[in-house]
Amino acid sequence: MKLLLLGPIGSGKGTQAKLICKKYNIPHISTGEIFRWNIENKTSLGKQAQKFVNAGKLVPDSLTNEIVADRLKKEDCQKGFLLDGYPRNIEQAHALDKIVSLDKVILIDLSEDEIIKRLSNRRMCKICRQPTNTEWLVDGKCEKCGGEVYVRDDDKPEIIKVRLETNKVSNEIINFYKDKGIFYKINATNEVEQTFELLDAILKQ
């Protein structure tokens, strides 16, 4: 099962990716983790990526494609995988298509208003450093340890709008996979379990 999971920030994509990978016993492949692993282990690809990171520049598509291709060749990916965070543009999608044939591409959709509402309700605990939600707080404090909570800068409405615009899934990528007949879309729900049921129904098809 070779999957690509798409979705805007705040859609719960990361949580759903973990649930899928746990049930189907496939690795969760995110570009951020691949970059960190290569850089920390000082691989030849990691050394090349480090130069761009140190210079405060984006890692170019050509190197990103090479790093992803290298990861997908690993033994744990031979029975399937879930890609998260790649491809980010149509050029990367074309490059990926030359590396591997995906089985399904699923977009977890959520309206901008719902995303802003969801992320605006997030809080971070000053003590245990764990994320929480205004609905879970006990007397205005962290339900886990009783610590004071605060709103992260990137969870403020004006910043969320900028992040949404910067990280939105392009129509080019959506149409690319629609043309291949492997694109699916579901609407995220407020319940993690319900969203997973919708995803799982597609995976079982």
Residue numbers annotated as active site: 13, 88, 122, 152, 163
| Tokens (6 digits) for 67 | 């790093």
Residue found by looking up tokens 């859609």 in the block: 11
Other CB atoms within 10 A of residue 11 CB: 23
Half-sphere exposure of 77 (CA within 13 A, CB side): 19
Other CB atoms within 10 A of residue 182 CB: 16
Helices 157-167/112-120 angle, 10° precision: 130
| Tokens (6 digits) for 121 | 């309700």
Residue 67 DSSP code: H
Cis peptide before 87 (omega within 30 of 0): yes
Is residue 150 within 8 Å of residue 139, measured between CB atoms? no
